[in-house]
A and B are shown apart, each in its own frame.
Chain A
C-alpha cells in the first residue's frame, strides 16, 4: 500500500534533530564537537589507503555495542579485507563480535542486492549499517568505457537512493566508506557527485607531513570544515 506523503515544517525537523539518539563515536574530540553520528542519515568517510577508515568504522561499532547490549551492526566489508585481530583489539571485548554481522561482497552488485534485501525486511534488528567500500579499486571506475561508466553511475545513484531510504525508514545511521586519493584531499574543494548529495556529513581522514598525525575533518557544505587532530603516535 502506498504511504501518504507527510508535510513537515522546519520546527518539526529541528525537533527531530534535537531528539534523535546520536551514536557516540567513542572518539571524544569528535563526540564533543558534533555530538556523534546521527541516525536516519548517511555519513561518508573518505581517505587514502591505510589512513584509518576501517579503524574509524570499528571504533564506531565498538562504541555502539558497548553502550547498547541489544545493538547489532551489519558490516559490509569489501572483499573481506579487514584484519580480525585488529578489530578485536578495537572492540576490547571479543564477545561483542557476536553482535556484528559480517558481509563480504566482491562486487558493487552484491552490495546493491544486500540493500534491496534490507529494504525488503532482511536484518530488521540492525542499529548501524556500514559499507566499508561500496566497490573495489577506484581505478576500475576510471578505466570504464563511456557506456559502462554510465551504467555504473546509475547503479551507484540507485544504491545511494536505497541507502537513504533505509536510513530514513529504519532511522539508523549508515556509514559509507570510500577511497579518496591524497591528490584530491583539499577538503574545501573536493566534490563527490555520487556521495555528497546523499550524505549528512562527509569526513575525510588524512595523514599529514609523513608523520602519524591524523586529521579528521567534519565537512559539510553548509556547516563548513573543521579539522580535528585525532592522535600522534
Chain B
C-alpha cells in the first residue's frame, strides 16, 4: 500500500481507491487529481451529500464543474446498495458520463458485492472511490492512502 499522498495513476482499468477521512479525500482529489480524473463529464455519488455551501465554493474554484459535474444524492445505506446493484450507473456511464466518484459509506454490509459492481464500472469510465479504511483488495485497485493513521 502506498503511504503517501503521491502516486501517479496511469492505469484507469482499476478503481482508484482513496483511503482516508472524507475531507482529506476531497482535498486530495481537488488539489491533485481533479483535471486528471474528471474527464470530461463527472458523475458524483455522495453518501454524505456534500453541503451546498461547500459545493458552491467548489464551483467558484473549479468553474469547469459548473457544466460538467452531476450529483446523485444518497441518503441511506440501503439506497446506496440499491444504486450499485441497479442498471442506472452502467447506463449513465455509457450515455455521456466518463468519470465516476463514489463516496463509499462505512458500515456497509455488502462490500464484496459492491466491489464487484464498482470493478465492472471501470470498463465504462474512470472510477474513484473514497473509503475510510482498506475495505477492498489492494491488488485490484490503485490504492492511495491520503490519511495514514
Residues of A bordering B, CB below 8 Å:
2-3, 5-11, 13-14, 16-17, 20, 38, 40-41, 154, 157-158, 161, 164-165, 168-169, 191, 193, 196-201, 220-223
Chain B residue with Cβ nearest A199? B51
Chain A residue with Cβ nearest B75? A165
Q: Which of B21, B23, B49, B83 contacts A164 (CB 8 A)?
A: B49
B: interface residue count bin: 35 or more
* Shortest Cβ distance from residue B43 to the other chain A in the assembled complex, whole angstroms: 8
Chain B residue with Cβ nearest A166? B75
Q: Which of A7, A41, A164, A220 contacts B72 (CB 8 A)?
A: A7
Q: Kindly list chain A residues whose C-beta atoms are within 8 Å of the C-beta of B92.
A: 7
Please, how many angstroms separate the alpha-carbon atoms of A198 and B69 in the complex?
A: 21
Q: Which of B43, B58, B69 contacts A222 (CB 8 A)?
A: B58
Q: Is the CB of A5 within 8 A of B52?
A: no
Asked whether B22 is an interface residue with its Cβ less than 8 Å from the other chain, the reply is: yes
With A14-B59, A196-B23 already in contact, the answer to whether A223 and B54 are too (CB < 8 A) is: yes
Q: Which interface residue of A5, A9, A38, A169 has the most chain B CB atoms within 10 A? A: A5
Asked whether B106 is an interface residue with its Cβ less than 8 Å from the other chain, the reply is: yes
Cβ proximity bits B70-111 to A, threshold 8 Å, 1 near / 0 not: 111111110100110000100010000000000001110000
Q: Is the CB of A168 within 8 A of B75?
A: yes
Q: Is the CB of A7 within 8 A of B70?
A: yes
Q: Which of A5, A9, A38, A40 contacts B88 (CB 8 A)?
A: A5
Asked whether B48 is an interface residue with its Cβ less than 8 Å from the other chain, the reply is: yes
With A168-B73, A191-B21, A197-B48 already in contact, the answer to whether A10 and B53 are too (CB < 8 A) is: no
* Shortest Cβ distance from residue B42 to the other chain A in the assembled complex, whole angstroms: 10
